């Protein structure tokens, strides 16, 4: 049996007709940038996420970058002295920290909680300096970071909060959806996300209308009106084709999320009695959308090689914590600085969790992983 990590072709089969109808409409109109599909998609996402405004942008990365730029974080070449600082978790996809660096600000890393893999809020305050401007928590794998504690710290020190919700559209904490905790949240529609586009796409969602308006201008070179530039932005616009493809998928998102959660429960139950497999810990306040299902095991690389030899798609998200990335060497961190992130980098595996998995496929993954952990004990 073959079990890929993700199977977008099966998902596409049920969406083919409608997707093609909308794409034809766009091709006939030859109107590719912005337009009615982008406007409608923004409205529908704002309503889905219960926020006042949603601004479509070219990727999750550009959502993060434009949010930082809109908050004037290290934005001006005339800023003097030490760079602004932004607190980010040490364990996340690179874009979280890469965007901070690209503004000229300094990413300041904080270790994660070993159980949730999210930023450990109890380690944030020690990293705050007079130059700290913002905290960028990541809702990793589809589970909310501890936003109550993080927002309380941000309030105490007057810091902005940018939620990196790239992996967590629709995830909830205490019943509140991602995007309603910080000043804004950044979503990604990269094809492997729960809501994945026909290419790259992203969105900034916020309850702050003024911030939304600034990001609308930011995504178009800070231009308003045409050819008049109040500030420097970029080309961060969302294509009509992406908005149309995503509009077709959005009505299915909650059903797909429930299917992912049901797959996660099947894995959890099957691995409960297997000492060698650490299943994901979801805090009781959280409703995870399970963009990834992550287990931790010893002898991880042997286990992964075994799974792959049996045609099971799996991945390491992520093999190198940010403080050990070559490009951040000048920040002066060393191995041992963030033990929980280093643990996650060495022990975790993402298993297939996509909605269309069959029970046979799930059982095959379960049995093969059990075999592997016994073999490499």
From residue 252 to residue 271, the character string flagging contacts with ligand PLP as x (rule: CB under 6 A) and all else as - is: --------------------
Residue 179 in contact with ligand PLP, rule: CB under 6 A: no
In the complex, what is the shortest distance from the CB of residue 58 to ligand PLP, in angstroms, rounded to a whole number? 8
In the complex, what is the shortest distance from the CB of residue 274 to ligand PLP, in angstroms, rounded to a whole number? 28
In the complex, what is the shortest distance from the CB of residue 189 to ligand PLP, in angstroms, rounded to a whole number? 7
Q: Torsion-angle region of residue 222: left (phi > 0), alpha (psi -120 to 50) or beta?
A: left
What's the half-sphere exposure (Cβ side, CA atoms, 13 Å) at 371? 12
In the complex, what is the shortest distance from the CB of residue 288 to ligand PLP, in angstroms, rounded to a whole number? 14
Given candidates 89, 121, 137, 202, which one binds ligand PLP under the rule CB under 6 A?
202
How far apart CA 262 and CA 283 sit, in angstroms, is 17
Residue 93 in contact with ligand PLP, rule: CB under 6 A: yes
From residue 318 to residue 357, the character string flagging contacts with ligand PLP as x (rule: CB under 6 A) and all else as - is: ----------------------------------------
All residues at 6 or more sequence positions from 280 whose CB lies less than 8 Å from its CB, including other chains: 141, 143, 264, 268, 288, 293, 294, 295
How far apart CA 28 and CA 37 sit, in angstroms, is 14
Given candidates 138, 154, 238, 366, which one binds ligand PLP under the rule CB under 6 A?
138
Residue 92 in contact with ligand PLP, rule: CB under 6 A: yes
Both tokens of 144, joined, read: 């909310």
Residue 200 in contact with ligand PLP, rule: CB under 6 A: yes
How far apart CA 226 and CA 105 sit, in angstroms, is 30
From residue 4 to residue 43, the character string flagging contacts with ligand PLP as x (rule: CB under 6 A) and all else as - is: ----------------------------------------
Report the sign of the C-alpha dihedral through residues 301, 307, 313, 314, in that order: negative
C-alpha distances (whole Å) from 265 to each of 23, 252, 268 are 37, 20, 5
Nearest to 246 by CA among 17, 32, 45: 45
Q: Residues in the site for ligand PLP, rule: CB under 6 A?
A: 59-61, 92-93, 95-96, 138, 164, 166-167, 188, 190, 200, 202
């Amino acid at each position: 049996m073959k079990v890929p990590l993700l199977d977008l072709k099966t998902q596409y089969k049920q969406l083919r007709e409608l997707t093609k109808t909308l794409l034809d409409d766009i091709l006939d109109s030859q109107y590719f940038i912005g337009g009615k599909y982008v406007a409608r998609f923004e409205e529908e996402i704002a309503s889905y996420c219960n926020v006042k405004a949603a601004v479509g942008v070219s990727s999750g990365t550009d959502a993060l970058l434009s949010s930082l730029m809109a908050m004037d974080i290290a934005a001006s070449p005339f800023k003097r002295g030490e760079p602004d600082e932004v607190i980010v978790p040490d364990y996340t996809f690179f874009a979280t920290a890469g965007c901070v660096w690209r503004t000229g600000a300094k990413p300041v890393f904080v270790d994660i909680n070993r159980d949730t893999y999210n930023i450990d809020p109890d380690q944030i305050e020690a990293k705050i300096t007079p130059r700290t401007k913002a905290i960028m928590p990541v809702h990793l794998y589809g589970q909310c970071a501890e936003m109550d504690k993080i927002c309380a710290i941000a309030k105490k020190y007057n810091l902005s909060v940018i939620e990196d919700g790239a992996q967590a559209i629709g995830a909830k904490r205490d019943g509140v959806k991602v995007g309603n905790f910080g000043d804004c949240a950044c979503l990604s529609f990269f094809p492997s996300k729960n809501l994945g586009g026909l290419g790259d796409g992203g969105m900034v969602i916020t309850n702050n209308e003024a911030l939304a308006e600034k990001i609308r201008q930011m995504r178009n070179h800070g231009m308003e009106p045409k050819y008049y530039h109040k500030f420097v932005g970029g080309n961060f616009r969302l294509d009509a084709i992406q908005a149309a493809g995503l509009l077709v998928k959005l009505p299915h998102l909650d059903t797909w999320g429930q299917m992912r959660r049901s797959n996660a429960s099947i894995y959890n139950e099957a691995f409960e009695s297997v000492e060698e497999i650490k299943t994901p810990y979801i805090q009781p306040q959280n409703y995870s959308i399970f963009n990834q299902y992550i287990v931790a095991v010893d002898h991880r690389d042997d286990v992964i090689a075994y799974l792959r030899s049996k045609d099971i798609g799996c991945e390491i998200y992520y093999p190198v914590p940010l403080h050990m990335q070559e490009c951040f060497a000048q920040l002066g961190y060393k191995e041992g600085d963030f033990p929980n992130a280093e643990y996650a980098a060495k022990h975790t595996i993402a298993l297939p969790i996509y909605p269309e998995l069959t029970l046979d496929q799930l059982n095959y993954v379960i049995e093969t992983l059990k075999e592997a952990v016994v073999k490499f004990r």
